[in-house]
Amino acid sequence: MSSAPVRPDPSAEPSTDDEATAFVDLGLRDELLAALAALGYEEPTPIQREAIPPLLAGRDLLGQAATGTGKTAAFALPLLQRMSVDRPTGDPVALVLVPTRELAVQVSEAFHRYGKELGTRVLPIYGGQPIGRQLRALDSGVDVVVATPGRALDHIARGTLRLGDVGTVVLDEADEMLDMGFAEDIEAILEHAPEQRQTVLFSATMPARIDGMARAHLTDPIRILIAREQPVAGEAPRVRQSAYLVARAHKPAALGRVLDIESPTAAIVFCRSREEVDRLTETMNGRGYRAEALHGGMSQEQRDRVMGRLRAGTADLLMATDVAARGLDVEQLSHVVNYDVPSAPESYVHRIGRVGRAGREGVAITLAEPRAHRMLKTIERVTGQRITIDKIPTVADLRNRRLELTQAALRESLLEDDLEPFRVIVESLSDEFDLMEVALAAVRLAHEATLPGALDEEEEIPQVSVRPSRTSRPGPEGRGDRRSGRPRGTGTTQVFVGLGRRAGVRPQDLVGAITGETGMNGRDIGSIEIADRFSLVEVPAGLADEVITGLRGSTIKGRRATVRRDRDTDGGDRRRQRH
C-alpha cells in the first residue's frame, strides 16, 4: 500500500473516499502529469495508487489485476519515468510481453499517449505483421518493445532484438500467456534479459503456475491484490444489476439504445475521464436526451447549475466522472450507468449506492468491453450479487419500445385530457374515412412527434458473448498441430480458416487472433488442426458466429483468410476439397 498523503481538493464536494490521492502525490514527473491531465484522467485507480510508488522505487511487483483496472498505466507510467534520457545504444530499455497482438497494439498506444511529452519511442511487435517493418524500426532505435512472446523470440534469435539494456520486463496478462502455451517462450526470453532488472508480473488470476513463475523470476516483490474483501451483509441496495457486452466502437450507440429502452426518470452515466464526459454529453444530446456534463474541471458554480437542472427535471442525464460525482445525492435518480466497468469493486458499489434508496427500486447498468468481462466477475464475487448479462436491444426492440411508449401516452391522454376540442376534426374526417384509419393517422402523428429520430438509420450493434471459462482443458500441448478431425463432444463447432502451414500459421497465431477479436479466453478454444493450406479451429458452438465475424475482420500473418463454418462438421456437405 502506498502511504501517500490524502489530498483534499478544496473545491470538490465532500469526499466520501478517504483514500483520494492525486497523481501528483504518487511522485510522477511533470511531463507525465501533463499527459494525464490532457487525457482527462482525474485520479489514479486503486491499482495505480498502490503500484506506482513501489515501481518508481525499482521494486519487483506481482499484481492481480484484470483489464479495466487501469493496470496498463500502473506499469507504463513508472517505466516512462525511470527511463534515462541518454540511451547510447538505441536498444530497448524495457520489454513488455503480452499474450495477443491486440493487446500489444493497445499497450503500445497507451505508452505513446503517456510518453508523448517525453518523446518515448515504443514499438509493438507481434506475429502476423510484416517482419521488415519491425526490423527497420528496431534498427533505428526504440525505448520500449511491447511484444507477443513468439515474435519476440524470433527477433532475439535473429539478433535483431537485443535485451542487453533492458532494465524492466513486464509480463502482462501472464495467465493468458500461459494458457496460450507461451511458458517456454517466456522462460527463454527472460534468460536473454539481464539478471539485474526489475520484473513486473500482472495476471487476472493467480493459479499455482503463475505463483511458480513469480517465485522463479521476481525478487522480493510487492504484492498487490485488488478486490479481495468479503461482501458486507445487509448492505445490499435494491438494485437491478445488468451488464451489456459491447465492443468499444459500438459503445456510444449501445448507451443510447439501452437508455431508450430503459427510459430512466433521471440517470447518471459514469465515465472514466473528462474527455469522455464531454464527448458523450454531446452524443447523447444529439440523440434527443437532455444531458449535462459534470467533471472535476468545472467550477463549483457550474456544477451547482447542473445539479439544479437535474433536480428540476430539465436535464435527464448526467455524464460524470467519479471525482465530480463524489458526495452527490439526487433523489430522482432511477438509473446508474457505468460506461465502463469500474476500476475496482469498491467503486462499483459506491456508484450503484446512489440508486435503490428508500425502498425504491434502482437500476444499475454496466457497459463492458468483452475483455473487461473478468472484472465483472470479480465484482460479482466481491459484492455477492448477480449481474445479469443482457442482450443489447435490437432495432426491433427499440421499435417495439417506442410503440409501447406511444401507447402509454395515448392511454394517459384518453384518461386525463379534455379531448372535446378535437371532436370536430374526427367527425369531419369520419365523413370521408373509416374511424379506424383516422385513429391510425392520429397515432402516427403522436408517435412521430414525441419520439423523433428515424430508426431506419440505426444499425444493428453486434452482440458479443463471453462463455465462462472451462474448468478442465487440454494443456498447451493438447492443442498443438495435430489432426483431431472431429469436434470434441457436443456443443462445439469447427471453424475453417483458409490459411495454414504454408502461410506460417501456428496455433498461437489463431488463438491470438481469436482472443484478440472476440471476448473469448484462450482456454475456450478447443483443438486446432493446421494443414498445409488451411486450419480448423474448434470453438464453442454458441460463439462460432462471433469467431467467424472477428476473424473475417482481421488478418492472420498479415493476410486475410477465408473463414467459415467447417462444412464437414456442420452441414454434412463433404464436397469441400482438402488441399
* Residues at the contact surface with ligand AMP, assessed by CB under 6 A: 41, 44-45, 48, 67-73, 272-273
Q: Least separation, in Å, of the C-beta of 249 and ligand AMP?
A: 13
Nearer to ligand AMP, 70 or 124 (CB): 70
Instruction: Give least dist CB 115 to ligand AMP, A.
Output: 14
How far is 128 from 94, CA to CA, in rounded Å? 22
Please spell the DSSP secondary structure of 457-491, one letter per residue.
GPPPPPP---PPPPSS---GGGGSS----S-SSSS
CB of 93 to ligand AMP, least distance (A): 21
Least distance in Å: CB of 375 to ligand AMP?
8
Q: Which one-letter amino acid corresponds to residue 473?
A: R
- The least CB distance from residue 114 to ligand AMP, in Å, is 9
Cell 417506442 locates to 402
d(CA 505, CA 520): 20
Whose cell is 432495432? That residue is 395
Burial class (CB within 10 angstroms; exposed 0-12, middle 13-18, buried 19+) of 453? middle
Nearer of residues 137 and 206 to ligand AMP, judged by Cβ: 206
Question: In the sheet that 362-368 helps form, which strands lie side by side, from edge to edge?
Answer: 291-294, 317-320, 267-270, 335-338, 362-368, 239-245, 388-390
Cell of 93: 530499455
Q: What is the grid cell recorded at 328? A: 452527490
Nearer to ligand AMP, 152 or 277 (CB): 277
Q: In what order do the strands lie in the sheet with 198-203?
A: 122-125, 144-147, 94-97, 168-171, 198-203, 61-64, 222-225
* 8 Å CB contact between 464 and 246: yes
Q: Indicate the residue among 73 and 376 with the shorter CB distance to ligand AMP.
A: 73
Please, are residues 514 and 536 in contact by the beta-carbon 8 Å criterion?
Answer: no
Question: Considering beta carbons, is residue 32 or 392 the nearer one to ligand AMP?
Answer: 32
For residues 141 and 401, what is the distance between their CA atoms, to the nearest angstrom?
57
Give the 3-state secondary structure of residue 89.
coil
Q: Which is nearer to ligand AMP, 295 or 523 (CB)?
A: 295
Pick between residue 44 and residue 362 the one whose CB is nearest to ligand AMP.
44
Least distance from ligand AMP to the Cβ atom of residue 436, Å: 54
**DSSP readout, 61-130?**
EEEE--TTS-HHHHHHHHHHHH--S--SS---SEEEE-SSHHHHHHHHHHHHHHHGGGT--EEEE-TTS-
With CA atoms as reference, report the closest residue to 269 among 254, 280, 282, 283.
Answer: 280
- Smallest gap from Cβ 159 to ligand AMP, in A, equals 32
CA distances from 173 to 28, 146, 212, 310, 421 (A): 24, 13, 15, 41, 69
The H-or-E segment that residue 170 falls in is strand 168-171
Q: What secondary structure does DSSP assign to 144-157, as a single string?
A: EEEE-HHHHHHHHH
Q: Which of 127, 204, 212, 218 is nearest to 173 (CA)?
A: 204
Cα gap 563→550, rounded to integer Å: 10
Contact between residue 369 and residue 350 where contact means Cβ atoms under 8 Å apart: no
What is the C-alpha to C-alpha distance for residues 408 and 403, in angstroms, rounded to an integer? 9
- Could you tell me the smallest distance in angstroms from the CB atom of residue 300 to ligand AMP? 22
CB 351 within 8 A of CB 270: yes
96 versus 514: smaller Cβ distance to ligand AMP: 96
To the nearest whole angstrom, how small is the minimum distance from the Cβ of residue 495 to ligand AMP?
27
Nearer to ligand AMP among residue 59 and residue 71 (C-beta): 71
Nearest distance in Å: CB 103, ligand AMP: 9
Sequence-ordered alpha helix ranges (H) in 533-576? 544-552, 567-570
Write down the least CB distance from residue 573 to ligand AMP, Å. 42
Q: Which is nearer to ligand AMP, 56 or 451 (CB)?
A: 56
Q: How far is the CB of 246 from ligand AMP (least distance, A)?
A: 14
Of 48 and 554, which has the nearer Cβ to ligand AMP? Answer: 48
**Considering beta carbons, is residue 34 or 157 the nearer one to ligand AMP?**
34
Q: Choose between 273 and 555: whose C-beta lies nearer to ligand AMP.
A: 273
Cell of 239: 438494485
Min dist CB 545 to ligand AMP, Å, is 26
